[in-house]
A = this chain, B = another copy of it.
Amino acid sequence: MNITDRSKVRRLPARGSHELEVIHAILDEGFLAHIGFQVDGQPFVIPTNYGRDGERLFLHGSAASRMMRELEKGVPVCVTVTHIDGLVLARSAFHHSMNYRSVVAFGTARKVANENKDHALRVISDHLIRGRWNDVRGPNEQELKATTVLEFTIEEASAKVRTGGPVDDEEDHSLNVWAGVLPLAITPGTPLPDAQIHPEATLPNYIGDYRPKTRTRRSAE
């Protein structure tokens, strides 16, 4: 993967990484990306879900969406995925921070041809909740036509990761104030069945045991 000025980690480079393994792990754990593009100098940042297939991210949306119509032109795109792991509570206001893992990826997107849409949508579905695709009705021709699927090729990317406790000034250690980390994580609640659920439908394990952290780990299959 290239490293040019746009992806070089300049601030706190010790937190930065261009290692594929780190970048892929962060992308695989997430399911929400913030997509950046610009139209006549005006930037837009739109949240959307995605799936990873090697160095490609698949995105999908309505064929009528502004984002899809802009991105399919092949304009420069920035895709950012962020996980918040905790609040870092220091003894001074200045040293407060967040534990996080983020990837900022640069590249361009292009339309996925009709014959490859099914594969791409399966990758997105597996990425969101592995196992679901096999259980549900697949897309029909009309649904595929209404859906634009894009393949975003990662040309460059950088990861930033902060872990651990607060890093306070030595003289602040004498302050009688609680300091440490408040961990934060996305956790699932109790699944809520649809009002019209089929009387024989049972809750699959991939929903009941869903955890964002392990969702996409292929080794667990």
Residue numbers of A with Cβ under 8 A of B are 6, 10-11, 32, 34-38, 41-47, 49, 61-62, 64-66, 76-80, 82, 84, 86-87, 89-94, 96, 98, 100, 102, 104, 106, 121, 125, 128-129, 132-133, 135-140, 143, 147, 165-166, 168, 172-198, 200-204, 207, 210, 212
Contact in complex: A180, B194 (CB < 8 Å): yes
A11 to B67, CA, bound (A): 10
Q: How far apart are A16's CB and chain B's nearest CB, in angstroms?
A: 13
A66 to B166, CA, bound (A): 24
Q: How far apart are A205's CB and chain B's nearest CB, in angstroms?
A: 11
A184 to B186, CA, bound (A): 6
Contact in complex: B49, A43 (CB < 8 Å): no
Contact in complex: A41, B38 (CB < 8 Å): yes
Taking CB atoms, residues of chain B closer than 8 Å to A168 are: 194
Given contacts A36-B43, A93-B137, A137-B93, contact A179 B194 (CB under 8 A): yes
Contact in complex: A125, B203 (CB < 8 Å): no
Contact partner, A178, options B47, B143, B186, B197, Cβ 8 Å: B197
Contact in complex: B198, A180 (CB < 8 Å): no
Contact in complex: A183, B193 (CB < 8 Å): no
A179 to B179, CA, bound (A): 44
Contact partner, A181, options B42, B62, B104, B191, Cβ 8 Å: B191
Contact partner, A79, options B10, B45, B64, B93, Cβ 8 Å: B45
Q: Which residue of B lies closest to A37 (CB)?
A: B43
Taking CB atoms, residues of chain B closer than 8 Å to A62 are: 11
Contact partner, A6, options B42, B92, B178, B185, Cβ 8 Å: B42
Contact in complex: B42, A35 (CB < 8 Å): no
Q: Which residue of B lies closest to A160 (CB)?
A: B47
Taking CB atoms, residues of chain B closer than 8 Å to A66 are: 10-11
Given contacts A76-B41, A187-B187, contact A96 B36 (CB under 8 A): no
Contact in complex: B175, A137 (CB < 8 Å): yes
Contact in complex: B198, A49 (CB < 8 Å): no
Contact in complex: A192, B183 (CB < 8 Å): yes
Contact in complex: B96, A125 (CB < 8 Å): yes
Contact sample, A vs B, 23 pairs, CB 8 Å cutoff: A11-B61, A11-B65, A35-B45, A38-B41, A43-B76, A45-B80, A46-B80, A47-B102, A86-B189, A89-B129, A89-B132, A92-B139, A129-B182, A135-B178, A137-B175, A174-B198, A176-B198, A177-B198, A179-B193, A179-B198, A181-B192, A182-B191, A184-B188
